[in-house]
Amino acid sequence: MKIAIPAFVALCCLASTARSQQVAPATYQAIELKNLNQSVKPTDNFYDFAVGNWVKNNPVPASKSSWFSFNELYDHNRKVVKEVVMEAAAANAPKGTNTQKIGDFFKTAMDSTRLNQLGATPLKPYLDQIDQIKDADGVLSTFIFLKKHDLAGVYNFSVDPDDKNSSKYIPGFGQGGLGLPDRDYYIKTDAPTVAIREAYVKHISIMLQLAGQPKAQADAAAAKILKLETTLAIASMDRVTMRDPYATYHKMTLTDFTKNSPGIDWSVQLQQLGVTGADSILVAQPEFFKKLASMISSEPVATWKEYLKWKLVSSTASSLSDAFQNENFAFYGKTLIGAKVQEQRWERLTSIIDNSMGEALGQEYVKRAFPPAAKVRMLELIKNLKLAFAERIQALDWMSAATKVKALKKLNSIMVKVGYPDKWIDYSKLEIISGDNFGNYMRGREFDYNRNIARYGKPVDRTIWDMTPPTVNAYYNPGFNEIVFPAGILQPPFFDFKADDAVNYGAIGAVIGHEMTHGFDDQGRQYDDQGNLKDWWTKEDAVKFKEKADRVVSQFNTYTVLDTVHVNGKLTLGENLADLGGTMIAYQAFKKTAQGKSDVKIDGFTPDQRFFLGFSQVWRGNITAQSQAVRIKTDPHAPGKWRVIGPLSNNPDFYKAFNVQPGDAMYRKDDVRARIW
């Protein structure tokens, strides 16, 4: 449910007006005029107008596959994180402290000479173990071993709150096992997809060779692995279907799960996974597990053994020698998403440490980069946005009074988290040993897994965070009915102390509105104020909502990227609804501020115009063609350009601010224009 960008349109005089009325250059510009492309009419392509020059002047760096405001800011945050790890590495801190762990993790992983000497040696005991497998039980136990180290396996498993009873944890199983980003990659027969598949098979073979297999054997294994993954892909549910929370909610007893997927005794599996005493479980895709169970006996054990080796090697590559890391990048970084060179080692490592010990790093990050005043200001903005959203709900002409009462109850129950957790993860049980890079990596993954399953049987902990503090993102969690904003995103261009309200309400305000609206999008609206999957809508209101949402689906289906490839209106619906609602709510909140009520121009732009410019600069960016191709299949967010153009071309306040008229490209006729919240 995270955020992301779009553009177009219309009128004649705005650009020139903006220039002619420009005031003396200020020393600080929250909207930097050099980023605008004022040769384009804002009414024809607002994205290009607002950020066109930024886009032209900020190509994707060689080591990246995309370069958006998010990446730019993350790069900035990573420098702070680098300071933290470098200081920890130099500190010689007492054994067992977070500082020792961060420092030793980093130092050990930076020692490429040692990693290159070791080569595939760290994998050997695990590969030997796989060689010992004699039957289906051995295969299943090894899946469990991979799962318990949070490494890629053949299915997903975790303990989470029950969607229909959010105060209770329940173990849940979901489909998995694919090495390519989506089932489409195994099924489609167009030339680019076939080329990626061919490169994937070569990549699997090279990785197996690096792990010690002769080429002929590795080639043969890679072909079999692709075939096996293809069978799993065909049995997998597609992403659009998975947007329906009822389609992925199947509560059953372990006995029923075993009956559903004969050949696997799930009570034995669950016990081996470390969870005991569960009377029922959730299965997201029963059909997938039915197929998997049949494959456990129909596929030769020898093929499964090759598959297990591939999963082990692939998911640990980042902790091995350069040969493994380079080949992993060659396929997943270069071929698949179009980066030209790998990020520097320290950059890759900070991401790995953020993944393994993110809240230990995060504690230091917020001390250095997150002023308490930012939290105070954010809470005030959120409060104003909530008020504006409540007013809009009350004023809706299409929703019944009965549903409004419940919608308002849900809105007022939204829990808010800003900056960093009140309660940090305790890493005392995680051992980080100097000189043991592979072990550190494996223990980090295992620690995460154990922390997750240890929840089972305990009261649901609503204080936890799904993102670490330096993360440049935000989320809505429907199960907790909460909105969460890590410290990492609370900086320019999202949130700027020096900026006027128009810019902040347009940027972080729209982000807050986006996350709030997720509670009322096609998925989120199906959860109640306590985070339970439960219908609180009258039938008529639900029908009206769906009609309105369908307009957004049709609108985005018409947007293209990469020649004939279209945005998937259904896949991106939730995010598009959140963008549409987010900008409207943020604008209404902005209009309550002193600047919102004034018409004093800054740099030639009215407060309302600055609001929409502030909104757009959040979504500026570039992306490689390869990465765009992957995202169009997998990302529930539309491309950045359409995230500006899409919502604004439905927004009457935007029309007013820039005098959008019929005939302008940003103009949508009233009978197709979407308005929900």
Contacts with Zn ion by CB under 5 A lie at 1, 3, 575, 578
* Least Cβ distance, residue 483 to Zn ion (angstroms): 10
For Zn ion, which is the closer residue by CB, 339 or 578? 578
* Assigned token pair, 95: 């054994």
Separation CA 476–CA 577 (nearest Å): 13
* Whether the Cβ atoms of residue 40 and residue 48 lie closer than 8 Å to each other: yes
Buried-state track 187-216, b at ≥16 Cβ within 10 A, e below 16? eeeeeebeebbeebbbbbbbbbbbbbbeee
Residue nearest to Zn ion (CB): 1
* Least Cβ distance, residue 525 to Zn ion (angstroms): 14
Which segments of 21-68 does DSSP mark as H helices, in order? 46-57
Separation CA 357–CA 355 (nearest Å): 6
For Zn ion, which is the closer residue by CB, 229 or 522? 522
Residue 242: exposed, middle, or buried by beta-carbon count in 10 A (0-12, 13-18, 19+)?
middle
* Assigned token pair, 258: 């075993």
* Least Cβ distance, residue 482 to Zn ion (angstroms): 14
* Least Cβ distance, residue 476 to Zn ion (angstroms): 7
Q: Whose CA is closest to 385, among 596, 115, 582?
A: 582
Residue 129: exposed, middle, or buried by beta-carbon count in 10 A (0-12, 13-18, 19+)?
middle
Which residues does residue 282 pair with via DSSP β-bridges, in sequence order?
172, 251
For Zn ion, which is the closer residue by CB, 254 or 510? 510
Backbone φ and ψ for 70, nearest 5 degrees, come out as -60, -45
Measure Cα distances from 273 to 131, 156, 176 in Å. 22, 11, 16
Which residues does residue 68 pair with via DSSP β-bridges, in sequence order?
621
Report the phi/psi class of residue 214: left, alpha or beta, with left for phi > 0 and alpha for psi in -120 to 50: beta
Q: How is residue 670 annotated by DSSP? A: T
Alpha-carbon dihedral 214, 216, 219, 221, rounded to 10 degrees:
-80
Largest Cα–Cα separation, the chain: 80
* Whether the Cβ atoms of residue 621 and residue 5 lie closer than 8 Å to each other: yes
* Whether the Cβ atoms of residue 507 and residue 618 lie closer than 8 Å to each other: yes
For Zn ion, which is the closer residue by CB, 288 or 559? 559
* Least Cβ distance, residue 287 to Zn ion (angstroms): 28
